[in-house]
Structure 1
Amino acid sequence: MPIVRNRGISGPRHLSLTILASLLPIAALADEPLALQQQVITATQTAHSELSAPASVSVVTREELERMPVYNLADAVKYLPGVHINPSSAYGRKEIKLRGMDSDYTLLLVNGRRVNSREALTSNYANDFDLSSIPMAAIERIEVIRGPMSSLYGADAIGGVVNVILRQPTDKTEAGIAYVYEHPTEGDSGDSHKTSGYVSGALIDNKLLGNLIVEGTDQAAWGSDQTTSPRIDAAEKRQNGSVYGTLSWLLDERQSIDLDMSYREDDRKATWNNSGFAFPTNIQEMERSAFGLTHNGAWDGFNSRIRYYYEDVDLKDDSEVMTNLRGGRVSDVSQTNHTLDGQVNAFLGSHLLTLGSEFRRTELSHSNNLVSEIKVDQKALYLQDEFSLGQLDITLGARWDDHDTYGNEFSPRAYGVYNLSNNWVIKGGVGKSFKAPSIAQSDPTYVEIACRGYCVTIGNENLKPETATSYELGALYQDERLQAGVMFFQTDIEDMINTETTRLLPPPGPGLPPVAEDPVLTTYNQPHVRVKGYELQGRYLLTEAVGLRANYTYSDANDRDTDEAIRNSPQHVANIGVDWQAIPKLGLNLDYQYTGSQYVYDVARSGTFETGAFHTVNVGARYQATSHLTLNGGLNNLTNEKRDEVAQAVDNILMGRTLFVGFSYDI
C-alpha cells in the first residue's frame, strides 16, 4: 500500500466564477457528479490528490471510459488538457502528444511499468501498437502527467507520462460482459465490433484473489472519397484479441504477492498509396506476451516493493512494397524486455523518502539486420524527498541512469506546492530529463528499407542523447463544485533527434527538387528546440445534474536556430462539453473539440505545408435499464467535419459521422 500524504479539499469557495469565462473551451464530463478529489500516484509514486500532487496531472476514471466507445489509450485521453491526438500514419493510426512534443517523448506505463515496442516498430509505425496493447476492459483509471518525470522513470519521459492503473482482483465475486458496435454513415465499410468479458473473485477466501479479462475487436477497413486515390484505405483493417489475468496472494496482513500475465494478438491490413503509381498491401501481425511478479510489503514505518517484468513482442512485417524488393522475404522482428526493480518508501522524521533502483535489458533481433541480435542494458538509481516548510510542500528528486552505449545521465527535479488555503494552491517546478536514441536510430548495423522501398535507413553511431530542461508555474483551485487552474510551461530540448530526408526519385513534375545522389537516410541531432505555452482548465457543477468541464492548451514548438515550427503540432487545442443527468436512469453528454492549424510534411511535393483548423462534435447517451444492464449510444463527428485539402493530400483523413451503440451487463 502506498504511504498517503494528502491535504483536505473541503472549505469555502474563494475563486470568482469569472475565471471560467477565460476558459473558452469546456471539456466533457462523466455521467456522475464531479469527482474533485481523485487520488493519483504517478507524480511521486506516493498517494496525493490532484490538488496536492507536485505535477500537472489529470485522471480518467473507469466510469468515464464506459461512457464512450474507447478502443485504445488515444481515444481515452483525447479530451484532457495538454493532450493532442495526432494521426501517426495515413491509414488511421494515432499517437499521443503532450504539450506539443512528439509521441516519442510520452512514456507509457502500466501499473508503473514501462510498455515499449519502439525498437521493433520503426519509421511512421509510431506507438499505436503500444496504445492498443492494453484491453480497455482491464483499466481502472488512467493518470496523465504533463511535464518531465525522468527523475523517477528515466528516459522517454521528457513530455510526460501516461500511467494505466489496471483493475485489481476483488474479494467479492464480480462479472460482466460488454459490447459496442460502430458504423460510419458515409464511405466504404469501416464497421467495428468490440466485445469484452470480466470476472473477479476469491479463489480462497481472504487469501487468494484473481481476475480474468478478455477483449476482442474486429474493425473493417474504411474507404473514403477524401483519400488521394479510391484504391487506398483511410483506416486499416484491425483484428485483435487480448487475455489478461491477475492472481493476488495475501500472505498476511502486511505482505502480498501479485502475479499477472497477458497475451495479445494484433493484426493490421491496409492498402497504401505509394506516390500514386503503386498500391501495395501492408500486413503487420504482432503477438505480445507479458509476465509480472511483484512482492508488496507494508512494514512498521516503511513500505517496500520488488518486482520483475517480462515483455516479448514478435512482429511479422509483410508490406508488398518492401517484400517485392527483398525477393518476397518478410521481415520478422522480435523485441524482448526484462525489467527488475525495487523501491522503499519511508518516513525519516518529517521527510517522506522514496528510494529505488532498476535494471532493464532490451534484446532485438531483425531478419534484415546486418547483426542478428542487438542487446542494450540500462541501470538506474533514484531518490526522492517529500517534506513541508510551513504551507509549502516540497518535492526533491534525482535519478542516475547508466546506459550501455551513452554512459551516465543525471536527472534532478525540484517542485513546490504552496497552499494558500485548503482549496487553492500555487505550484511549479523545474526538472531535467533525457531520452536515449533507439537502436534503430543509433546502431549502424540496423538497416531497414524505407522511402517506400527506394532507400534504406541506417543508424547513426555519433548521435547524442536528447536532454531537456523544463519549467512550469501555475495555480489550481478546487472545492465541492468548482475546479479551475492555469499552468505556464516551457521545455528547452538540446540535441533533438530528427531524420535527414532526401528525395530519391526523379521529380514527377516541374519545379520540384533534383534527384538526390545518396540513397541512405540517417538521423542527426537538432541542436535547439523550445516548446512553450500555457494550459487553462476548469470544471463546474452547475447543479447535481448538470456539469461543465473546460480546458484550452496553447503550445508553441519551434526550432530555435531556424525559427521553423515543429510539424504535426497545433498551437491551439480546446475542448468544450456538457454532461446532463436528465433523469436518474438517463445521462446525456455533448463534446466539442477544436484543433488548430498545424504543419504537415507532403512527400509527393517534398515540402512542409500548413493545414487549417478543424472541429468535431460528439454526442452520447447512457441509460441504466436495470440494476445490471446499461445501454449506451451516440454519434461521433456529428457535423461530418472534413479536414482541408492540405491534410487530405497526405491522406490524413478525419472519419466521418459515425453511429455507436452498445451495452454492458454486470453482476
Structure 2
Amino acid sequence: MLKPSVLAAALAAAFLPHAQAQSNTAEPSQRLERVTITGTNILSTQREGANPVQTLTAKDIAASGKTTLPELLRAITANSGNSYNEQFTGSFSAGTAGISLRGLGQQNTLVLVNGRRVAPYATAQNMQEVFTDLNSLPLAAVRRIEILKDGASALYGSDAIAGVVNILLYDDYQGSEVRVGLGSSTEGTGQRERSLELRHGVGDLEADRYNLTLSFDTVKRDRLDQSQVSWLRDNDFRSEGGGSLAWAVTNYYGSDPTNKLGGEQGPLKLTNYGDITPGKTGTVLAYNPAIYKTLIPGVERYHASARGTWRFSDDAQAYAEVLLGKSRAELIFAAPLSVASNLRAWNNRTQSLESISVALPKTHPNYPASGSNVVTATLFDLGPRMKQDAVHFQRLSAGVRGSTGAWDWDASLLQSSSRMRETVQNFGNRYEFERALQAGSYNFADQSKNSEAQRQALRLSTLRPAQTELYAFDANASTELTQLRGGALGFASGVQLRHERMDSRTSDAVLSGTELRPAINIIQGTRRVGAAYAEFNAPLLKSLTLNVAGRLDHYSDFGSAFSPKASVRYQPLNWLVVRGNASRGFRAPSLPENTQSTGVSYGSVVDPRDPISPTVARGVTNLTTANPSLKPERSRNFNLGVVVSPDSKTSFGIDYFNILQKDLIDTETAKYIVDNERNLPGRVVRDAQGRIVTLTRQFKNQGERTVSGFDIEASRSLSLAAAGELKLKAQLSRLLQFTSAPGEGKAPINGAGNNEYGSLPAWRSSTSAQWSVGSWSTILRWTRVGSYEQTYRPTPAVAPRVRAANTWDLNVDWQVTPRLLATATLQNLTAAKLPYDASSGSFDLTQGDPRGRFLGLKAHYKF
C-alpha cells in the first residue's frame, strides 16, 4: 500500500513537469461570474483566492455516494480528529455529528448556512463544546459547500479559529427531481438504510422576477449493536498486542471479585480472573458487555427547506428562508444498573453528590456468612438502560439585498433554535433501592426470585429537556472605492448583533435525588454579542493583491476582542499562484464554561494505586464546574501556499498552516489528576477500599497549543478519446505539530501522530479516480487514516502503534435515460476492519465506523 508521503511525491512528479511544459501557454480568456467566496465579503472572479478554500459541488456530493451531510463532511482530510458523530453514544449529545478542522475541537470550527449562523445543538458535547449538529441540516437543498481551512475570526467571529464550513443552498432552482435510496450491510449485521430526497423550484428571477425553491429529505437507518458485528461481538481482544478479554466483573462481596455473590445467572459466566486482568488468579463472575452496547444508533430524520426570492425592482430583491429538521435517535445507552461502593445520588440543596450505602443488613437473604457485607452487583433483571433523543431544529431568516449606486448591500434577520428531549428507561430509583435493601426484598444472588412488582418499582424513566436559541441581525455592504494600478480597490463592511441563549436542564428525578448514578449537564446562560467588521481588497499590481480585514466583537459576559487579518495573493505567471495570510483571533468562553453550569459525568482512568485493578481502566464519576472568571482563548494563524494550474484540467496546490492558541480553556485530564493526586488536595475522592469514586474538575485558562501541518490537493483530467474521460483527484493532510502541556508545570508534548490529545494521525488522505464513458461513470476512492503512536501502554505487550486504516469505496452511475440516473455504491469495498486501539479498549470511533461493507442503490429522476 502506498504511504501518503510516497503518494505526495508521485503526485508532484506527475503534475509539476506538466506545469513547466505549459508555462508559456496562456489559456484563452473566459468571462467569469463575480461571486462571493467564503473567506471574503468582496465579489471576485478569481478561481484561486488568497485563502485555501475546498469546494464540494452538487456533482461532487452526488458522486460521493454519501446519504447524509455529516458522512460527506467528516470525510475531508482536514477533519483530522477530536470530532464525534452518532457513534459517541455515551455522550450528552447522542445522535449528533460535528466537525473538527485541524483537530482543534468542534467549538473551533464555524458552520454557516448561506453565510449565516445557525443555532448550536441544544446541549454541549463533553460538557464544554458548543457545536453545530450536522444531522440537523438538510442535504437535498445543498447546492455547494465551501470549506475555508484557515482562521477567519476577522470576518465571522469567535468560533472560526480552525476554519469555516459554509453550506450554500439552492436559491434559484427550477424544475423537479426525486432521489430514492436503499442500503444494507453485507456483513450479516442486518443494518438497513432507506432515504428519500425531493427538490422542486418554480419561477425565474430574470423572467418572472420570483423563485420558490422547496426541498425535503429523510433517512431511516437501523440500529447497529456491538453484538451484531462478528469481530466485536465477543469483546475478546487477547489476539491483539496487550489486549484482554474485555468483560465486566460484577456480583461479589467487598473488594475481592473472587468472593462471589451468587452464581451464574442471566449473562453472568464463571470466568478466569487472569483472562480479564492479567496476573490475577481464581474465578470471577463476569459478563460480555457487547450485548449492551450500541455502536451506531437507529435514526429517523426529516429535513425540509423553503427559499423564496422576489425581485421587486431591477436593483433589489427580498428573500425569506425556512429550514426545519426533526430527528430521533434510539440506542442501548448502557448495561443494566450496577451498584457498588461508589454509588451516588445528587443533592440539589448542597449541589453535590452524596453516597448511597450498598451494605447489606444482617436480615438480608444475601448477607454473607463471613467477610464484607458491601456488595458490587448488576441488576440484570431491570434490563439494559435505553435512551431516545428527539431533536427539533428550525432556522427562519428574511432579508433584502441589492445595489444602490456603486454599493452592493444585504441586510437580514434570523431566528434559529434547537430543542432536544431525551428520555431514558430502566434507570434506578434511589429511594426504592434503599427501601428494598433494608427490607431484603431484592435478591442480588438469584434475581429470578424477584417479583415483577419489585423490578418495576426499581425501574426509573426520566425526561431531560434542553434548548438553544439564536437571534441575529446582519447587515453588510461592499463597493469599489477607487482604481489602483492593478484594478479596483474593493471595500466591504458590516455589523452583526446576536442574542444567544442555552438552557440545558436535567430531569426532576435527578434534582429530587431519586436517580441513582445521575448524569448531569445543567447549562443556563444568555449573552449578547455585537460586532463590526471591515475589509479592503487592494490589487496593488495585476499580479499582486493585498487583502486586509478586521473585526471588533463585544460580548456582554466578558468584554471586547479585536481580530485582524491580512492576506496576499501573488500570480507572477498565468499558471502559478502564491498566497499567504496571517491573522489573530479568539474564542470566547462558551456558555457551559463561564455561566451557571454543573456537570456530572462518568468516565474511566487507570489508577496505579487501585487495590483491585491497577492496570485496568476504572470507572469514575467526574464533577465539572464552570468558571465565570475565564478569559477568552487567543489565537494566531499563519498560512502559506502555492497553486499550480497550467490549464483548466490540471491543478496542484500545497498549503502550510500554523496555529498558536493561548489561554486554552480546559480542565486537567483524569490521568493528570490521578498522577498528581498529592499536589491536588480534595480533587480525588476514594472509598473505604481505596478505590477512586469522584474526580473534581473546573474549567480554567491553562497553557497554550501549537498546531501546524500542510494540505496537498491535486487534480487532473485526461481525455481518453473513445474510451471517455478520466479524472484524478487527491487530498492529503499532514499534521506536523499538535503541541501542548498535559497539565500545569508539565513539559509540552507533541500529540501529532499519537493519541495523547485524542487520536491525531499524522497523515490523512483521500484519493479518487473517476472514469466516464458514454452513459456510465465510475468512481473509485481510497481513504487512508494513517497509523499513530499508542501513548497508553500499561504493559509492554500493548502494541506501540495503532495500525493505519485503509478504506476503498466504489460508486457507479448509469444514465439510463436523460432523466433517470441509477447509482450503485459499495462503501468499504474490502470490508476492512478498524484497527485495535488499546486506549479505547476496542477501536477509536473518531477515526471510522465498524459497519464493514455497505451496499447502496439509488435512483434519481428529473421531471
Alpha-carbon distance change, 400 to 284 in structure 1, aligned in 2, over 3 angstroms = same
SS at match of 1:152: helix
Whole-angstrom distance in 2 between the partners of 1:186 and 1:128:
33
Question: Hey, what does 1:112 align to over in structure 2?
Answer: 115
Contact 1:115/1:130, CA 8 A, preserved across alignment: no
Contact 2:197/2:215, CA 8 A, preserved across alignment: yes
Alpha-carbon distance change, 616 to 300 in structure 1, aligned in 2, over 3 angstroms = same
Pairing partner for 2:858 from 649, 654, 662:
662
SS at match of 1:329: strand
Question: Is residue 2:811 matched to residue 1:620?
Answer: yes
Contact 1:234/1:651, CA 8 A, preserved across alignment: no
Deviations 1:261-303 (A, max 9, x none): 1211111111134699675222211101211001101222110
Shifted more, 206-215 versus 385-394: the winner is: 206-215
Question: Is residue 2:738 matched to residue 1:542?
Answer: no
Counterparts of 1:132-211 in structure 2, within 5 Å, are 132-170=135-173, 173-202=174-203, 206-211=208-213
Question: Hey, what does 1:255 align to over in structure 2?
Answer: 316
Question: Hey, what does 1:235 align to over in structure 2?
Answer: 296
Shift of 1:67: 1.9
Question: Hey, what does 1:221 align to over in structure 2?
Answer: 223
Contact 1:20/1:484, CA 8 A, preserved across alignment: no
Question: Is residue 2:525 matched to residue 1:374?
Answer: yes
Question: Hey, what does 1:4 align to over in structure 2?
Answer: none
Contact 1:43/1:53, CA 8 A, preserved across alignment: no
- Give the number of the structure whose alpha-carbon radius of gyration is greater: 2
Shifted more, 73-82 versus 473-482: the winner is: 73-82
Contact 1:108/1:116, CA 8 A, preserved across alignment: no
Deviations 1:528-553 (A, max 9, x none): 11101111111011226001012211
Whole-angstrom distance in 2 between the partners of 1:286 and 1:325:
29
Alpha-carbon distance change, 246 to 636 in structure 1, aligned in 2, over 3 angstroms = same
Pairing partner for 1:65 from 53, 61, 65:
61
Counterparts of 1:75-114 in structure 2, within 5 Å, are 75-78=71-74, 80-84=76-80, 86-88=83-85, 89-91=87-89, 94-114=97-117
Alpha-carbon distance change, 439 to 579 in structure 1, aligned in 2, over 3 angstroms = same
Deviations 1:307-353 (A, max 9, x none): 01100111112345878679643211111100101001011103211
Question: Hey, what does 1:597 align to over in structure 2?
Answer: 787
Letter in 2 for 1:186: E
Counterparts of 1:354-369 in structure 2, within 5 Å, are 354-368=492-506
Question: Hey, what does 1:480 align to over in structure 2?
Answer: 648
Question: So what's the TM-score if we normalise by structure 2?
Answer: 0.68
Alpha-carbon distance change, 196 to 128 in structure 1, aligned in 2, over 3 angstroms = farther
Contact 2:118/2:395, CA 8 A, preserved across alignment: no
Identity %: 19
Contact 2:667/2:697, CA 8 A, preserved across alignment: yes
Question: Hey, what does 1:446 align to over in structure 2?
Answer: 597
Question: Hey, what does 1:53 align to over in structure 2?
Answer: 49
Question: Is residue 2:333 matched to residue 1:272?
Answer: yes
Whole-angstrom distance in 1 between the partners of 2:32 and 2:827:
30
Question: Hey, what does 2:392 align to over in structure 1?
Answer: 287
Pairing partner for 1:466 from 611, 626, 633:
633
Whole-angstrom distance in 2 between the partners of 1:297 and 1:434:
32
Contact 2:128/2:590, CA 8 A, preserved across alignment: no
Counterparts of 1:364-443 in structure 2, within 5 Å, are 364-368=502-506, 373-390=524-541, 391-443=543-595
Question: Hey, what does 1:492 align to over in structure 2?
Answer: 660
RMSD, aligned α-carbons: 3.3
SS at match of 1:349: strand
Whole-angstrom distance in 2 between the partners of 1:594 and 1:299:
51
Contact 1:58/1:80, CA 8 A, preserved across alignment: no
Shifted more, 635-644 versus 126-135: the winner is: 126-135
Q: Point out where structure 1 has 5 or more consecutive residues left out of the alignment.
A: 1-15, 24-34, 506-512
Question: Hey, what does 1:306 align to over in structure 2?
Answer: 411
Question: So what's the TM-score if we normalise by structure 1?
Answer: 0.87
Contact 2:623/2:696, CA 8 A, preserved across alignment: yes
Alpha-carbon distance change, 401 to 147 in structure 1, aligned in 2, over 3 angstroms = same
SS at match of 1:307: strand
Letter in 2 for 1:535: D
Q: Which has the higher contact order (CA 8 A, sep 6+)?
A: 1
Contact 1:295/1:305, CA 8 A, preserved across alignment: yes
Alpha-carbon distance change, 323 to 610 in structure 1, aligned in 2, over 3 angstroms = farther
Whole-angstrom distance in 2 between the partners of 1:502 and 1:125:
15
Q: Quick check: which one's strand share is greater?
A: 1
Shifted more, 326-335 versus 205-214: the winner is: 326-335
SS at match of 2:551: strand
Question: Hey, what does 1:631 align to over in structure 2?
Answer: 822
SS at match of 1:246: strand
Letter in 2 for 1:551: Q
Question: Hey, what does 1:563 align to over in structure 2?
Answer: 749
Contact 1:145/1:161, CA 8 A, preserved across alignment: yes
Shifted more, 461-470 versus 115-124: the winner is: 115-124
Question: Hey, what does 2:243 align to over in structure 1?
Answer: none
Q: How many residues align?
A: 629
Whole-angstrom distance in 2 between the partners of 1:657 and 1:419:
45
Alpha-carbon distance change, 263 to 212 in structure 1, aligned in 2, over 3 angstroms = same
Letter in 1 for 2:165: V
Alpha-carbon distance change, 182 to 125 in structure 1, aligned in 2, over 3 angstroms = farther
Pairing partner for 1:532 from 693, 697, 708:
708
Contact 1:36/1:483, CA 8 A, preserved across alignment: no
Shift of 1:604: 12
Deviations 1:135-192 (A, max 9, x none): 111000000000100000001101000000100134xx40111112121111522211
Contact 1:185/1:659, CA 8 A, preserved across alignment: yes
Shift of 1:589: 0.6
Alpha-carbon distance change, 125 to 633 in structure 1, aligned in 2, over 3 angstroms = farther
Shift of 1:439: 1.1
SS at match of 1:123: coil
Q: Point out where structure 2 has 5 or more consecutive residues left out of the alignment.
A: 1-8, 17-29, 90-94, 236-289, 339-377, 379-383, 432-459, 484-488, 512-521, 604-619, 675-688, 742-746, 752-756
Shifted more, 297-306 versus 553-562: the winner is: 553-562
Shift of 1:516: 4.2
Whole-angstrom distance in 1 between the partners of 2:792 and 2:41:
43
Whole-angstrom distance in 1 between the partners of 2:148 and 2:127:
25
Shifted more, 320-329 versus 73-82: the winner is: 320-329
Shift of 1:500: 3.3
Shifted more, 495-504 versus 359-368: the winner is: 495-504
Alpha-carbon distance change, 413 to 164 in structure 1, aligned in 2, over 3 angstroms = same
Question: Is residue 2:335 matched to residue 1:342?
Answer: no
Alpha-carbon distance change, 436 to 481 in structure 1, aligned in 2, over 3 angstroms = same
Whole-angstrom distance in 2 between the partners of 1:372 and 1:80:
32
Shifted more, 97-106 versus 615-624: the winner is: 97-106
Contact 1:502/1:516, CA 8 A, preserved across alignment: no
Question: Is residue 2:490 matched to residue 1:352?
Answer: yes
Counterparts of 1:29-44 in structure 2, within 5 Å, are 41-44=37-40
Contact 1:50/1:57, CA 8 A, preserved across alignment: no
